[in-house]
């Protein structure tokens, strides 16, 4: 889906020509069609009653996406700014006719750097969810790799989604 949040975020970064310096945010993408299938499968399984499941997996740093953008669209990302300048930069520079405009406030509010902040870990280990899905539901976990995300960026560039600029 070209208009999901991460793709609109990347589009906004291309359109404003800027990314956050030292971004280390961990993305945990799971395709919505897989997630829907897994949730329905779990809901229908008799052994899932009263269980908790964790779909927070597939962690990949946003820096890999930024590196792919810079390498594949040379000259488009013209500057890197500090996290504390991101919000104002987006609010002042994202064009109104951008497809990302409707998510402008959310994009501007993004925090790309963890600093000393540690993401809270779920009490439900992801392995428990993976094992339950595989052993009891015959459904393998959907792995999203850095290479998958790079292919996604290449696709968005090839179809013109990330290479065009609003006029």
Task: Say if pTM beats, i.e. exceeds, 0.75.
Answer: yes
Return the bridge partners of 18, or none. 79
* Contact call for residues 51 and 113 (beta carbons, < 8 A): no
Structure tokens at 34: 């897989």
pLDDT more than 70, % of the chain: 91
pLDDT in tens, 59-98: 788 998 999 998 999 888 899 999 999 999 999 999 999 9
Q: Give the DSSP H or E segment for 13.
A: helix 5-16
Cα–Cα distance for residue pair 13/1, rounded to 1 Å: 18
């Amino acid at each position: 889906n070209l208009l999901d949040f991460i793709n609109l975020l990347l589009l906004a970064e291309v359109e404003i020509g800027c990314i956050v310096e030292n971004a280390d945010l961990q993305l945990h993408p799971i395709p919505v069609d897989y997630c829907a299938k897994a949730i329905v499968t779990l809901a229908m399984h008799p052994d899932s009653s009263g269980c908790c499941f964790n779909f927070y997996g597939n962690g990949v740093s946003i820096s890999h996406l930024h590196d792919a953008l810079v390498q594949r669209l040379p000259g488009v990302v013209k500057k890197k700014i500090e996290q504390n300048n991101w919000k104002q930069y987006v609010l002042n520079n994202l064009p109104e006719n951008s497809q990302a405009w409707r998510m402008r406030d959310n994009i501007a509010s993004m925090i790309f750097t963890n600093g000393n902040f540690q993401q809270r870990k779920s009490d439900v280990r992801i392995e428990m969810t993976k094992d339950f899905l595989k052993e009891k539901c015959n459904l393998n976990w959907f792995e999203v790799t850095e290479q998958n995300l790079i292919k996604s960026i290449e696709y968005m560039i090839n179809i013109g989604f990330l290479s065009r600029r609003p006029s």
